[in-house]
Amino acid sequence: MAMKVKRYEAPTLQEALLHVKRELGSEAVILQTRKFNRGGVFGFLGKNMVEVLAATDIETAGATKQQLRPAHSQGAQQRKASPQTSAQPAQAGQSTEVLRDELREMKSALHALLQKNQTETSERVEPYPSIFGDIYLKLLENDVDDTIAQDIIRSMDDSLQPERKEDDQAVEAALERQLRRLLKISGQIELTGREQRTIALVGSTGVGKTTTIAKLATIFSLQKRKKVGIITADTYRIAAVEQIKVYCDILNVPVRVVYNAEDMKRAVDFFADRDLIFIDTAGRSHWDTERIKDVRDLLAVCYPLEIHLVMGAQTRYRDMVDIAERYRPLAYNHLIFTKLDETSAYGNLINLITKINTGVSYLCYGQNVPGEIQPATLDSLVSLILGKPLAKAVGAKR
Ligand SMILES: Nc1nc2c(ncn2[C@@H]2O[C@H](COP(=O)(O)OP(=O)(O)OP(=O)(O)O)[C@@H](O)[C@H]2O)c(=O)[nH]1
Ligand SMILES: [Mg+2]
């Protein structure tokens, strides 16, 4: 059977799929999806684009059947490039060379997606039931990185007995298991025994460090009746000191403002009787490496210390990775996601967690203090990645 393989480019996945459907019909098979940057200088200031590689039988091109099926559906399998297929003569108007190229391309795309063990004698690839394709596209739509989405699909396939692969419930359970495997939480702040805990929040300008400290301080001082102290090194802006002082007044929590390492040492000593000390740091542009070093020097005098990197959930993935990289010298060991209320696609959470292998401690989803903060749980992260509504996912009453 002759195949037609075509590339489609559009600003969004949906638009690209629409072109595919219009041109190749509903029986088209999606072989590969990829995001890329168009134009600009060396890719800077370019436009985000999506590329879709799709294939169809020439006979069925343009036909409008029921469903647009991803590469791993049953239909794809029947049309997959077998040695016999590639030996077929080219259709009129298409050179054998072009067809061969297209088939080669399609085969490698399929191979990348399926990565099945191939026996020496056969190139047979087991088909994925169509629900796998639906899940794959849903993950991509939720901004889950393509490599991670493919990993999830492959692992789901490996983990399920053949007869269970058609059982939607079993497949969904397998998906959840894979998400739980990839996601990571670091646990909320637990105060055990008499040991004092010192917690610093670091991160880019305006990401919500001060607000989050105010939320946490409320939970621990008012609800849990712990002795809380706040140290602020956020002296870059006058308003910042005022902001934290107002919160501390309301909460009746003592605050110390520090300008250098010596002040910091004194403040930590001053808070010797506290169960919990929060340290607020000045936000820095992540390009300002010198300033990030200043923060490190300040924090160096108060070990042992937990450092939570605060990251806005609405931040572009590439920026998230840059920020995480720039802050690495601070040796943060937790992640706090803020501004979950400012986005609706949460794939970047799983992308970043797997990229930097750091667990999430808290999720924040609003400007109100107190409230709009929850300890991160695997359940809440899984729900967000699966596209459940925010309020439901974080289990919050809003
Ligand atoms: N929508 C939303 N806004 C938030 C959230 N957390 C903080 N903000 C808002 O973000 C803005 C900056 O918050 P801050 O707490 O001052 O941020 P910061 O990281 O301390 O900022 P710098 O000290 O300047 O680095 C404020 O307007 C907050 O109300 C959140 O979870 N969701
Ligand atoms: Mg601040």
Ligand 1 atom 29: the closest Cα is on which residue?
Answer: 367
pLDDT tops 60 at residue 45:
no
Three-state secondary-structure class, residue 279: strand
Q: Comparing 120 with 259, which gets the higher pLDDT? A: 259
pLDDT of residue 166: 85
Angle (CA) 84 88 93, round 5°: 155
Q: So where are the chain's domains? A: 1-116, 128-182, 197-393
Ligand 1 centroid distance, CA of 298 (Å): 22
- Our answer on whether the CB atom of 209 is closer than 6 Å to any ligand 1 atom is yes
Residue closest to 345 by CA, chosen among 143, 145, 146: 143
Using one digit for the tens of pLDDT, what is the confidence trace for 46-104? Answer: 577 788 888 777 654 444 333 444 444 444 444 343 444 444 444 445 566 766 676 66
Residue closest to 339 by CA, chosen among 305, 363, 369, 303: 363
b/e sequence 334-358, b meaning 16+ C-beta within 10 Å: bbbbbbbbebeebbbbbbbbbbbeb
* H or E element at residue 229: strand 228-232
pLDDT of residue 212: 96
State the Cα–Cα distance between residues 55 and 76, nearest whole angstrom. 9
pLDDT tops 70 at residue 297:
yes
pLDDT tops 70 at residue 286:
no
Percent of the chain with pLDDT over 70: 77
Q: Comparing 111 with 231, which gets the higher pLDDT? A: 231
- Our answer on whether the CB atom of 337 is closer than 6 Å to any ligand 1 atom is no
- Our answer on whether the CB atom of 207 is closer than 6 Å to any ligand 1 atom is yes
Which distant-in-sequence residues (6+ apart) come within 8 Å of 217 by Cβ? 228, 230, 247, 248, 251, 253, 278
Decide if 308 contacts 201 (C-beta within 8 A).
yes
- Our answer on whether the CB atom of 56 is closer than 6 Å to any ligand 1 atom is no
Other beta carbons less than 10 A from residue 239's beta carbon? 9
- Our answer on whether the CB atom of 43 is closer than 6 Å to any ligand 1 atom is no
Ligand 1 centroid distance, CA of 363 (Å): 13
Name the packing angle between helices 146-159 and 130-141 (round to 10°): 150
Contacts 24+ apart (CB under 8 A), 133-141: 133/30, 133/69, 133/70, 133/71, 133/72, 133/73, 134/70, 135/171, 135/175, 136/70, 136/72, 137/13, 137/30, 137/70, 138/386, 138/387, 139/347, 139/385, 140/13, 140/33, 141/13, 141/14, 141/345, 141/387
Burial bucket for residue 117 (CB in 10 Å: 0-12, 13-18, 19+): exposed
Ligand 1 centroid distance, CA of 367 (Å): 7
Ligand 1 centroid distance, CA of 246 (Å): 15
What mean pLDDT is predicted for residues 274-302? 86
Decide if 346 contacts 142 (C-beta within 8 A).
yes
- Our answer on whether the CB atom of 342 is closer than 6 Å to any ligand 1 atom is yes
Provide the mean pLDDT of the chain. 81
- Our answer on whether the CB atom of 247 is closer than 6 Å to any ligand 1 atom is no
pLDDT tops 90 at residue 23:
no
Matching CATH number, 197-393, of 3.40.50.11540, 1.50.10.10, 3.90.1150.10, 3.40.50.300 = 3.40.50.300
Using one digit for the tens of pLDDT, what is the confidence trace for 70-82? Answer: 444 444 444 343 4
In single-letter form, the type of residue at position 325 comes to: E
State the Cα–Cα distance between residues 352 and 314, nearest whole angstrom. 12
Using one digit for the tens of pLDDT, what is the confidence trace for 320-370? Answer: 999 999 999 999 999 999 999 999 999 999 999 999 999 999 999 999 988
Q: How confident is the model at residue 3 (pLDDT cuts 50, 70, 90)?
A: low
Q: Two tokens at 211?
A: 């607000």
pLDDT of residue 292: 86
Residue 237: nearest ligand to its CA?
1
State the Cα–Cα distance between residues 228 and 129, nearest whole angstrom. 54
Q: In a mutational test of the pocket of ligand 1, which residue from 230, 234, 279, 367 has the highest number of ligand atoms less than 8 Å from its CB?
A: 367
Based on C-alpha coordinates, what's the Rg of the chain? 26
Q: In what order do the strands lie in the sheet with 334-338?
A: 255-257, 228-232, 276-280, 197-203, 306-312, 334-338, 360-364, 373-375
User: Secondary structure of 72-84 in the HEC alphabet?
Assistant: CCHHHHHCCCCHH
Decide if 10 contacts 16 (C-beta within 8 A).
yes
State the Cα–Cα distance between residues 194 and 277, nearest whole angstrom. 13
What mean pLDDT is predicted for residues 228-250? 83
Q: Which is the closest atom of ligand 1 to the Cα of 203?
A: 19
Using one digit for the tens of pLDDT, what is the confidence trace for 168-211? Answer: 899 999 999 999 999 999 988 988 877 899 999 999 999 999 99
Using one digit for the tens of pLDDT, what is the confidence trace for 113-149? Answer: 555 444 444 444 556 778 888 899 999 999 999 999 9
- Our answer on whether the CB atom of 364 is closer than 6 Å to any ligand 1 atom is yes
Q: Which is the closest atom of ligand 1 to the Cα of 373?
A: 31
Which distant-in-sequence residues (6+ apart) come within 8 Å of 22 by Cβ? none
In single-letter form, the type of residue at position 303 comes to: Y
Q: Two tokens at 51?
A: 């590329």
pLDDT of residue 64: 39
